[in-house]
Amino acid sequence: MPAPRYRSRTFRRVFVKVPGNRVSLQYKKRKPSKAQCGGCGKQLSGIPRERDVRIKNLPKTMKRPQRPYGGVLCSSCMRDKIKSSIRD
């Protein structure tokens, strides 16, 4: 029987082959949901779907797109925002 904290489906069950030629059951946290655009709510591409611990160790260029509002707005909302700021 697993420890009480692992009985819920908050943790996913992963079978891992360990030394000694045996398969062990490990409990790992689930991945977070995809990042969403602040304007339209569409899923953002170019942002890894990982936990904060893994994202922290990624290089800066892999954390979000290299453009204005990268990681906050999708490309179409970014274009509209830039156009409206130039027009005003």
What gap in Å lies between CA 52 and CA 87, rounded to an integer?
Answer: 38
Model confidence at 1: pLDDT above 90: no
Alpha helices in 4-74 (DSSP H): 52-56
Rounded to the nearest 10°, the torsion over CA 32, 35, 36, 37 is 170
Question: Tens digits of per-residue pLDDT, 67-87?
Answer: 999 999 999 999 999 999 999
| Partners of residue 75 on adjacent β-strands | none
| Partners of residue 59 on adjacent β-strands | none
Question: Tens digits of per-residue pLDDT, 14-53?
Answer: 999 999 999 999 999 999 999 999 999 999 999 999 999 9
What is the predicted pLDDT for the residue at 4?
A: 95
What gap in Å lies between CA 5 and CA 18, rounded to an integer?
Answer: 23
What is the predicted pLDDT for the residue at 76?
A: 95
